[in-house]
């Protein structure tokens, strides 16, 4: 109560100042990636040409590249063969591109001949935005063929996946997305598993998640996905090429396995695939392929998949789908576990106008199914809560006193929300052999100011409520304690590995936020309990004291800073940190680089640092855990035994 009273006093003082009383609030549209007003789709055929239609925000030069998937490749990486310029149609930014699909009937161009991918066309739309000189891309695919009358027609096509998800020693889930409602099934070990609804009936839908049970541990299975508009799969079925997955070792068997971690693949200067639909398509895909060839069993991805920061739901979802296309070739063989970063942000953008200073634009996460968390979860298949049979954390409560004298104006904008968004599939845990993995959310219910000062962020939180970047709120912290307690007491578990986005101890690029929020001239970061989520340093110490209280805690992976640092965090950093735990920041999956800032108090604890794009590859064999850090050029940055910690 004392903390709430202090906070209420601050809000009343702040919101009753002359500066704030002269405010007005104005909703604004905000999106850097919002190019399409209607996404590309094939609307019909003319003389052997597929007619691709789309609409964009204003007239811009537009080219479509198209090709096919090779029949003899284990990874479905598209090969583009032709291009055509799109032509304006109508008066509402509409465009049409004629794709000469009849040419794929010729042997010289039919690289998928004789395979199940024959008739599948992959395309990329490139749109030149003359304002910034950047080409914006969109990638899609469709399937076509001739009927008995030699007339071209569309047929159901797989447009996302298949993805392997939720691998255990006895089960796996295959997820996929089609371009139209259809039936789906998976063939594994000489049996077909049909996609069904909750009542056990055949499911006709675009999205399918098919659980495969009764599997054996440590076994590689061949699987085939098939879709059709016909429940008997007799009418133009599409069988995707055979793929494989491997089940986990028996729980606690301590067999050798490998996993990988990386983060921050949002788009980067460099043009082309470095800035593809909000993500660095080139680096994200290259690193996934490298890890597949290197033999990893699973991948952890710690947020900032895409640029985000948008008020457009369509733009946000389109960016996430682009990222999925980049990782899909490898995701059809092994599971990728994702969590959110600060760039997975979608919400309401509000211009706050002042009488005597420049306006600021704040953003606030939305509620329920329109929140960043719920939309993110809708695009991925991750565990629903803790492996120890309890669900995700409860949604957090709003801070007391938010809004002040602006309550009526905020109510017209649907703010502030009384409860935070759901945590489902952004906070979860799972076990793989003898390691307990925990994904947590350091960007929950995110409120902020786009490239604003700490003072403005504090004001935005007082106005709209929500949560600060990098802050772990009470319900999530309580959930972490329950989950980590269970893992510590689990005799099958030797090590605990956590991953999220915002580092507890930043080393270069994000000292002004994350779990520090320092400004130049301060010796310590933000620690003011009167401001919503303002006790950052106390929160960080509560979090790290919890993690370090378990002897099995090995490493906490973060991203956010676009570099690599390995930091040894022990009681020399804070006396309440009982056991030493590694902090590894690995934000090198393609976002713009950051150098090291040696001004932080823990800089002597940093054992290794580099700014080059990279990923982490870890080999586990019983109690031994070895880390390797590899760059995109194939250089080994370091190889170190993480498990050599005093206990």
What six digits make up the tokens of 68?
């096919």
The whole-number pLDDT of residue 450 equals 81
User: pLDDT of 338-390, one tens digit each?
Assistant: 999 999 999 999 999 988 888 999 999 999 999 999 999 999 999 999 999 99
For residue 118, the SS3 value is coil
Q: Inform me whether the pLDDT recorded for 614 exceeds 90.
A: yes
The whole-number pLDDT of residue 19 equals 46
The whole-number pLDDT of residue 15 equals 44
Q: Inform me whether the pLDDT recorded for 3 exceeds 70.
A: no
For residue 110, the SS3 value is coil
User: pLDDT of 536-556, one tens digit each?
Assistant: 999 999 999 999 999 999 999
The whole-number pLDDT of residue 8 equals 36
Confidence band of 577 (pLDDT split at 50, 70, 90): very high
User: pLDDT of 37-78, one tens digit each?
Assistant: 899 999 999 999 999 999 998 888 999 999 999 888 899 899
> Under a CB-based contact definition with an 8 Å cutoff, are residues 473 and 502 in contact?
no
* Distance (Å, whole) CA 400 – CA 385: 28
The whole-number pLDDT of residue 635 equals 98
Provide mean pLDDT across the span 448-476.
95
The whole-number pLDDT of residue 405 equals 82
Q: Inform me whether the pLDDT recorded for 620 exceeds 60.
A: yes
The whole-number pLDDT of residue 58 equals 87
Provide mean pLDDT across the span 615-631.
98
Q: How far is CA 186 from the centre of its chain?
A: 26
Phi and psi at 61, nearest 5°, equal: -60, 135
Rounded (to 5) percent helix, strand, coil in the chain: 20, 35, 45
**Domains in the chain, CATH or no CATH each:** 36-155 (2.60.40), 160-235 (2.60.40), 260-641 (3.60.21.10)
Secondary structure, 3-state, 131-185: CCCEEEEEEEEEEEEECCCCCEEEECCEEEEEEEECCCCCCEEEEEEEEEEEEEE
Q: Inform me whether the pLDDT recorded for 20 exceeds 70.
A: no
User: pLDDT of 206-248, one tens digit each?
Assistant: 999 999 999 999 999 999 999 999 999 998 999 999 999 999 9
User: pLDDT of 141-154, one tens digit each?
Assistant: 999 999 888 899 99
Neighbours of 407 (CB within 10 A): 12
Predicted TM-score of the model (pTM): 0.95
**360-365, strands of its sheet edge to edge:** 24-28, 347-353, 360-365, 447-449
* Distance (Å, whole) CA 5 – CA 264: 39
Q: How many helices (H) and strands (E) does the chain have?
A: 9, 33
User: pLDDT of 94-115, one tens digit each?
Assistant: 999 999 999 999 999 998 888 8
- Report the half-sphere exposure of 359 (CA within 13 A, side-chain side): 13
* Distance (Å, whole) CA 194 – CA 211: 9
Task: Please give the residue that has the higher pLDDT: either 407 or 482.
Answer: 482
Q: Inform me whether the pLDDT recorded for 92 exceeds 90.
A: no
Confidence band of 24 (pLDDT split at 50, 70, 90): confident
> Under a CB-based contact definition with an 8 Å cutoff, are residues 4 and 397 in contact?
no
Residues 6+ apart with CB under 8 A from 238: 116, 120, 143, 155, 156, 157, 158, 226, 227, 228
How many Å from the N-terminal Cα to the C-terminal Cα in the chain?
39
Mean residue pLDDT across the chain: 93
The whole-number pLDDT of residue 2 equals 37
The whole-number pLDDT of residue 594 equals 96
* Distance (Å, whole) CA 387 – CA 486: 9
The whole-number pLDDT of residue 150 equals 86
The whole-number pLDDT of residue 34 equals 74
pLDDT above 90 coverage of the chain, percent? 83
Residues 6+ apart with CB under 8 A from 547: 480, 484, 498, 553, 556, 581
The whole-number pLDDT of residue 136 equals 84
The whole-number pLDDT of residue 16 equals 40
Provide mean pLDDT across the span 468-476.
98
């Amino acid at each position: 109560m004392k903390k709430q009273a202090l906070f209420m006093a601050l809000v009343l003082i702040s919101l009753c100042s002359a500066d704030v009383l002269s405010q007005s609030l104005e909703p604004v549209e905000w999106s850097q990636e919002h190019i399409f007003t209607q996404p590309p789709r094939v609307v019909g055929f003319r003389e052997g040409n597929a007619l691709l239609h789309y609409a964009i925000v204003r007239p811009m030069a537009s080219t479509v590249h198209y090709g096919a998937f090779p029949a003899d490749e284990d990874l479905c990486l598209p090969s583009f063969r032709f291009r055509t310029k799109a032509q304006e149609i109508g008066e509402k930014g509409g465009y049409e591109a004629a794709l000469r699909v009849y040419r794929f009937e010729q042997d010289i161009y039919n690289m998928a001949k004789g395979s199940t991918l024959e008739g599948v066309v992959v395309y990329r739309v490139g749109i030149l935005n003359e304002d910034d000189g950047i080409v914006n891309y969109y990638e899609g695919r469709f399937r076509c063929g001739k009927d008995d009358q030699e007339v071209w027609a569309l047929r159901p096509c797989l447009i996302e996946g298949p993805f392997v998800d939720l691998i255990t020693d006895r089960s796996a889930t295959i997820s996929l997305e089609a371009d139209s409602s259809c039936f789906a099934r998976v063939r594994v070990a000489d049996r077909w598993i049909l996609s069904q609804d909750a009542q056990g009936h055949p499911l006709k839908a675009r999205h399918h998640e098919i659980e495969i049970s009764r599997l054996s541990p440590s076994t590689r299975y061949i699987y085939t996905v098939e879709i059709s508009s016909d429940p008997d799969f007799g009418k133009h079925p599409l069988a995707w090429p055979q793929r494989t997955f491997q089940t986990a070792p028996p729980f606690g068997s301590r067999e050798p396995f490998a996993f990988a971690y990386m983060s921050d693949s949002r788009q980067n200067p460099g043009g082309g695939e470095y800035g593809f639909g909000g993500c660095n398509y080139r680096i994200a895909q290259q690193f996934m392929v490298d890890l597949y060839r290197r033999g990893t069993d699973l991948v952890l991805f710690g947020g900032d998949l895409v640029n985000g920061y948008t008020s457009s739901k369509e733009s946000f979802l389109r960016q996430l789908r682009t990222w999925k296309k980049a990782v899909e070739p490898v995701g059809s063989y092994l599971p990728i576990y994702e969590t959110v970063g600060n760039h997975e942000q979608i919400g309401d953008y509000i211009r706050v106008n002042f009488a005597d200073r420049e306006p600021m634009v704040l953003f606030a996460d939305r509620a329920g199914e329109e929140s960043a968390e719920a939309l993110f979860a809708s695009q991925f298949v991750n565990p629903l809560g803790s492996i120890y049979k309890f669900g995700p954390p409860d949604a957090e409560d709003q801070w007391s006193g938010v809004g002040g004298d602006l309550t009526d104006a905020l109510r017209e904008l649907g703010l502030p929300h009384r409860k935070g968004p759901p945590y489902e599939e952004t906070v979860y845990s799972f076990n793989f052999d003898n390691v307990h993995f925990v994904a947590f959310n350091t960007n929950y219910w995110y409120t902020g100011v786009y490239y604003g000062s700490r003072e403005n962020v504090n004001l935005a939180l007082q106005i709209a409520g929500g949560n600060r970047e990098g802050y772990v709120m009470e319900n999530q912290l309580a959930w972490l304690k329950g989950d980590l307690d269970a893992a510590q007491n689990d005799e099958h578990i030797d090590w605990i590995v956590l991953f999220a986005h915002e580092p507890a101890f930043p080393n270069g690029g994000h000292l002004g936020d994350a779990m520090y929020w320092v400004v130049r001239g301060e010796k310590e970061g933000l620690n003011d309990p009167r401001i919503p989520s303002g006790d950052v340093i106390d929160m960080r110490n509560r979090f790290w004291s919890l993690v370090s209280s378990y002897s099995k805690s090995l490493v906490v992976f973060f991203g956010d800073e676009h570099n690599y640092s390995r930091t040894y965090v022990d009681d020399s950093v804070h006396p309440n940190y009982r056991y030493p735990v590694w902090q590894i920041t690995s934000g090198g999956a393609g976002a713009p680089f950051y150098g090291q800032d040696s001004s932080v108090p823990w800089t002597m604890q940093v054992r290794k640092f580099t700014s080059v794009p990279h990923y982490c590859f870890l080999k586990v064999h019983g109690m031994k855990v070895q880390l390797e850090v590899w760059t995109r050029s194939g250089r080994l940055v370091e190889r170190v035994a993480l498990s050599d910690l005093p206990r």
